[in-house]
Amino acid sequence: MAIIAPSLLASNFLRLSDECVMLNESEADWFHLDVMDGRFVPNISFGLPVIEQIRTMTSKVCDVHLMIEEPERYAEAFKKAGADILTVHIEACRHLHRNIQQIRNLGMEPGVALNPHTPVEMLYNVLSDISIVCIMSVNPGFGGQQFIPHTLQKIKTLRTKIDQLGLNTKIEVDGGITWENAAEILNAGAHVLVAGSTVFKAKSPKKMISDLKKL
Ligand code: DX5
Ligand code: ZN
């Protein structure tokens, strides 16, 4: 069954505790938390103090997606704030292998995210060291964008490689996931669906989560 990770970027920040309660009561598996620094991506979202407070609201997995430069400077702080999974961008890491080890040594599951232009082959040398590959299906920085179709081929290629190697690395797909394209994304080989607008702008977010979960 698919893992559903609603992105709180699309939630109502003025009612954040209600949104957390809603997710707790829903079939959502993970809380996807998007951190943007205004350098790696052209937008600024939220950071450590917000994640620290969200942590007190849930026992579900906190999946932190760092869209920041020099993520190694903050890995320990995100651990302290309560991250279970810490995902860094390959494009932001000059020493990716070292960064992955740092995240694991801190006691978190390491994830690596790839921008739409980055080939999945770039990850093959670290595939067995990481828990999650986050394939960006939009250019990171904003919620509510359109799914980029060539992502499907990247998911297929990566899934074949992971299965060939017998790894249990999970493929997470992030950006532009809708009720209409979710099944195709899962069929291509994704394990985890991140959905922001599709969940939080739905008439009933809980029902949307449950419908996605059933796919
Ligand atoms: C984009 C973020 C995504 C975003 C997805 O930079 O990494 O997690 O919140 O939002 P939707 O689902 O609205 O495309
Ligand atoms: Zn994200």
Indicate which residue's Cα is closest to atom 1 of ligand 1: 140
Cα of 74 vs centre of ligand 1, distance in Å, is: 21
Averaged pLDDT of the chain: 98
For residue 162, the CA-to-ligand 2 centroid distance in Å is: 22
Q: How confident is the model at residue 172 (pLDDT cuts 50, 70, 90)?
A: very high
- Among 2, 60, 10, residue whose Cα is nearest residue 202: 10
Altogether, the residues listed in the chain come to a count of 215
Å from CA of 18 to ligand 1 middle = 20
- Provide the 3-class DSSP secondary structure of residue 210: helix
pLDDT at 106: 98
CA nearest 127: which of 96, 173, 86? 96
How far apart, in whole angstroms, are the C-alpha atoms of residue 58 and residue 159? 31
Q: What pLDDT, on the 0 to 100 scale, is given for residue 214?
A: 95
> In CATH, what number is assigned to the domain containing residue 166?
3.20.20.70
Residue 192, pLDDT score: 98
Residue of the CA atom closest to atom 10 of ligand 1: 143
pLDDT tens figures, 27-84: 999 999 999 999 999 999 999 999 999 999 999 999 999 999 999 999 999 999 999 9
Q: What angle do CA 115, 176, 154 make, to 5 degrees?
A: 45
> Which structural domain range is residue 190 located in?
3-214
* pLDDT number for residue 150: 97
Enumerate the active-site residues. Answer: 34, 174
Q: Is residue 83 left, alpha or beta, with left meaning phi > 0 and alpha meaning psi from -120 to 50?
A: beta
DSSP 8-state symbol, 44: B
- Which pLDDT score, from 0 to 100, does residue 136 have? 99
CA of 105 to the centre of ligand 2 (A): 23
Pocket of ligand 1 (CB under 6 A): 7, 9-10, 32, 34, 65, 138, 140-145, 174-177, 194-198
Average pLDDT over residues 160-173: 98
pLDDT band at 116 (very low <50, low <70, confident <90, very high): very high
Element (H, E) at 170: strand 170-174
Pair 12, 201: CB distance under 8 Å = no
pLDDT digits (tens, 9 = 90+) for 99-114: 999 999 999 999 999 9
Q: Which residues make up the environment of ion ligand 2, defined by Cβ < 5 Å?
A: 34, 65, 174
Q: Tokens for 167, please give them.
A: 């790894």
Residue 14 in contact with residue 203, Cβ under 8 Å?
Answer: no
Q: Residue 154's pLDDT is what?
A: 98
Ligand 1 atom 6: the closest Cα is on which residue?
140
Q: Residue 46 has what pLDDT? A: 98
Mean pLDDT of 176-185: 98
**Nearest-CA residue for atom 9 of ligand 1:** 143
Structural domain total, the chain:
1
